[in-house]
Structure 1
């Protein structure tokens, strides 16, 4: 899945990600709000939440946090290669970005992060 994702973020996408990450509380609210709206429709919701919990964990190295937050920022922001309203294909770019980020930092996402993600998804 990550093989097809080799393009870098555009300058506009990176600026939008940086801007959104400056306000952590707003970013968290935006992330959780968007996830609640689409969690039942996307197969990678658990991975998204596990990445979120890993990024928020103080024990997670800074490089890992920044990698995950950039990928999560792409999920939250309206700047998208494929509009999310497109049936079947709308979230494929989001999934590719998340998969690439998780593959890059897989060892940092713990069983605890994944268990917490499962719990939260069960409550949605």
Structure 2
């Protein structure tokens, strides 16, 4: 992931994007974002890993990516690809506590979610 996207990442801009477009992006995308965000916040995670995460989250936040995000489902497919790639790269840094926080926040926003809907994401983090 190109570091040029990391300049678009900030905690405020991430929460703003999730508030505005989280439902449209869907539970899978939001779950991947939350996993990366909570991993980024972990003090034990190294700077190189944090830079990769910041770039992926910056790409997610940036409204002018490869496929326009305003198009439901299809518009977030490129974001999901970037997020999944980054999750695979940083998987060893994702702890059970991070997963629990992501699941809790996801439940707050989406209610009950079928665990099978998140399998693609969870496979990247084991």
TM-score (norm 2): 0.76
Gaps of 5+ in 1: 1-7, 22-26
Correspondent of 1:92 among 49, 64, 77: 77
SS in structure 1 of the partner of residue 65 of structure 2: coil
Task: Give matches, 1:27-106, under 5 Å.
Answer: 27-41=10-24, 42=26, 43-106=28-91
**Structure-1 residue corresponding to 2:108:** 123
User: Separation in 2 of the partners of 1:19 and 1:69?
Assistant: 8
Gaps of 5+ in 2: 110-126
Once the two structures are superposed, residues 35-76 of structure 1 have per-residue CA deviations (whole angstroms, 9 ceiling, x without a partner) of: 122333322211210110101111111111111110001001
Distance 2:105 2:7 in 1: 27
Taking the aligned partners of 1:19 and 1:50, their CA distance within structure 2 comes to 20
Tell me the distance in 2 between the aligned counterparts of 1:72 and 1:82: 16
How many pairs does the alignment contain? 107
Superposition misfits of 4+ residues, deviation over 6 angstroms = none
C-alpha RMSD over aligned residues: 1.8
Quick one: distance in 1 between partners of 2:46 and 2:34?
18
Whether the 8 Å contact between 1:46 and 1:114 is mirrored in structure 2 is: no
Residue 5 of structure 1 is matched in structure 2 by none
